[in-house]
């Protein structure tokens, strides 16, 4: 038999199940039984393959390119950027140093105060200081007249006894003392104590002359005369005396003796004997 081609078509519901068999051999292959495939054949996937012959040099270049893909190239201006500086803590350091200075200053002040208090305590225990006592023994009026300008001129003489009760402390009375006599917040006259030294446990009698002038003389004189009819005229003697304390041979800083004596007298007639009916004095030290 000559070369021929047998095409057998199996009846299928779908055109995709149609298979065409083209044997490559002559009639001797007719004895083979053709069986339909269990599944329809899938169309072959065509891939375009490009064959390149690479030399050793090309392989090295490809490797270099492959490695270069994984490396990120730096920006062009990387040389202009400065590296980040480490964080600084200047503010915290300044705050800590300020806190240390404040703490040291407070500690020094507290230490100095403690030392000063200890010294004062020791001196107090050793010398046992006491405030001097003052008393008003006598009051006389040498002049109390109304001038032509209706101002009142007054001149008083006050006898004061100053007592130093301390056994180991002396008192230096300095310049700048001030004594004044008042009637209901109205100044009548003023003067000062003499400068002197008062020794340990000493009593000193001082005669102090006070003088003054008030511009509201007529009104003031009328009030004094009205008060004199009652037989009780309240007067205030105010004292402000700067002194220096002597502890043994040590002279301390200057302090001030402040005091007030409330007096009640029977009359304010000039050149008459004035009786002091009541007196009350209080004194204190001012640093």
For the chain, the structural domain boundaries read 133-286
Which single residue is written with the structure tokens 């209901």?
184
Closest CA to 209 of 154, 247, 277, 172: 154
Is residue 3 within 8 A of residue 23, CB to CB? The reply is no
Q: What is the mean pLDDT of residues 177-206?
A: 95
Confidence class of residue 80 from pLDDT cuts 50, 70 and 90? low
Round the average pLDDT of the chain to a whole number and report it: 78
Q: What is the mean pLDDT of residues 44-57?
A: 46
- What integer pLDDT is reported at residue 1 of this predicted model? 43
- What integer pLDDT is reported at residue 96 of this predicted model? 75
Cα 164 to Cα 124: distance, rounded to the nearest angstrom: 16
CA distances from 90 to 49, 97, 101 (A): 68, 10, 16
Confidence class of residue 251 from pLDDT cuts 50, 70 and 90? confident
- What integer pLDDT is reported at residue 94 of this predicted model? 64
Confidence class of residue 115 from pLDDT cuts 50, 70 and 90? very high
Cα 194 to Cα 173: distance, rounded to the nearest angstrom: 8
Domain 133-286 has CATH 1.10.760: no
Query: How close are the terminal C-alpha atoms of the chain, in Å?
Result: 153
Tokens of 203: 């009593």
Is residue 160 within 8 A of residue 137, CB to CB? The reply is yes
Confidence class of residue 22 from pLDDT cuts 50, 70 and 90? very low
Q: What is the mean pLDDT of residues 53-68?
A: 50
By three-state DSSP, how is residue 226 classified? Answer: helix
Q: Residue 8 above 70 pLDDT? A: no
């Amino acid at each position: 038999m000559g070369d021929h081609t047998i095409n057998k078509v199996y009846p299928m519901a779908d055109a995709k199940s149609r298979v065409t068999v083209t044997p490559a051999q002559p009639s001797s292959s007719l004895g083979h039984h053709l069986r339909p495939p269990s599944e329809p054949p899938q169309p072959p996937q065509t891939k375009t393959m490009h064959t390149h012959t690479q030399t050793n040099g090309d392989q090295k270049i490809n490797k270099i390119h492959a490695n270069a893909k994984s490396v990120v190239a730096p920006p062009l201006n990387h040389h202009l950027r400065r590296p980040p500086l480490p964080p600084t803590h200047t503010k915290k350091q300044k705050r800590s140093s300020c806190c240390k200075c404040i703490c040291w200053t407070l500690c020094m002040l507290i230490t100095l105060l403690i030392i000063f208090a200890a010294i004062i305590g020791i001196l107090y225990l050793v010398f046992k200081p006491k405030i001097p006592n003052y008393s008003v023994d006598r009051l006389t009026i040498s002049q109390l007249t109304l001038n032509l300008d209706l101002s009142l001129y007054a001149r008083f003489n006050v006898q004061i006894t100053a007592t130093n009760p301390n056994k180991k402390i002396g008192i230096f009375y300095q310049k700048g003392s001030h004594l004044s006599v008042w009637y209901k917040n109205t100044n009548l006259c003023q003067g000062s104590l003499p400068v002197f030294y008062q020794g340990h446990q000493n009593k000193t009698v001082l005669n102090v002359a006070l003088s003054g002038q008030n511009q509201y003389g007529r009104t003031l004189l009328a009030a004094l005369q009205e008060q004199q009819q009652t037989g009780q005229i309240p007067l205030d003697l105010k004292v402000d005396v700067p002194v220096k304390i002597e502890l043994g041979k040590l002279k301390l800083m200057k302090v001030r003796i402040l005091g007030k004596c409330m007096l009640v007298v029977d009359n304010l007639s000039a050149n008459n004997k004035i009786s002091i009916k009541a007196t009350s004095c209080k004194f204190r030290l001012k640093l």
